[in-house]
Every structure is written in C-alpha cells, then in structure tokens.
Amino acid sequence: MGKSVEVIARGVCVKGGKVLLCQSKKAKIAYLPGGHTEFKETARTSLEREIVEELGLPSKAGRFLGAVEHSFKQRGKRHCEWNIVFALEIPTLELEKEVVAAEDHIMFWWCAIEELKQARIEPAVLCDLLPKWLDDAFVGERWGSGGDFA
C-alpha cells in the first residue's frame, strides 16, 4: 500500500498576456502557483492559502479552468497527481515589478502564454491546454493527461 494520488490546486494568473509561473530554485521545470490541498479543504481555499504562503499576498481563486492528471518520477520515486486548475486573481501583483517569493526555495516570473513550452512547464500538456481554457469562447474538454503512467 502506501500509494496515493496527490491533489494539487493550481492558479492561472494572467496579466498583459503573461502567465505567472513558479519554480523551485533547485529544479529546471516550471509550474503554475499553488499546492497540495489539505484534508477538509476545498481546492479553491487551498489555492488561496498557498498563494499567501508562497507570495504573502491575498488572492481570489476564480472560475474552474480544467483538470490534469499527471505522473512522474522524482528522485527515483513515482508520483501521481491531479492538478485542479482555476483562474487566479492577485490584485496587488504588478506585471512591471519583480515578483518576490515569500518562501526561500522558490521563485516566480512572468511568461508569455506562447512561450510556455520553452519555460518547461509541468505538466507539459498545460502548454497546449491553457490557451484554450483561457479563451472564454472555448467549449471543449477541460481535462488533460500527461506524464509517464508506466
């Protein structure tokens, strides 16, 4: 036993055609801000809590954009997760100013939506899904799958 699927709440904060990305200072991959949901916590509440922890700023988790299942190996250990993705408003965050993390081990930056692949965002399938999900006229599937499930 001991195997579980992690539930991650992620936020898409867009300003001026750019998406806010996060990265561990030790890793070469980027991801959307957010983090693990806790027991008896909604995904939206957990996203807003994580933004306070990561940036020290209040935020508002908005409309549901989609969900992505993802599997990967990290330090030889298999991880499986569900990423629940919401639009995210961080009113006090400004595109023109450096984004300062409240935690020492991470950093943030703005990435043009069309450059997500170059940013090495994970789950990588989000590179193709996010532009669709952010389009208010999009009526397609709001689910994706990425990674190695073998």
Query: Tens of pLDDT along 110-120?
Result: 999 999 999 99
Residues 43, 78: Cα–Cα separation, whole Å:
23
- The residue among 126, 54, 44 whose CA lies nearest residue 93 is 54
Phi, psi of 64, deg, nearest 5? -65, 130
Question: How confident is the model at residue 1, as a pLDDT?
Answer: 43
Within 10 angstroms of residue 113's Cβ, the number of other Cβ atoms is 14
**pLDDT greater at residue 18 or residue 1:** 18
Question: How confident is the model at residue 146, as a pLDDT?
Answer: 86
Write down the CATH number for the domain with range 6-147. 3.90.79.10
* Over residues 125-145, mean pLDDT: 95
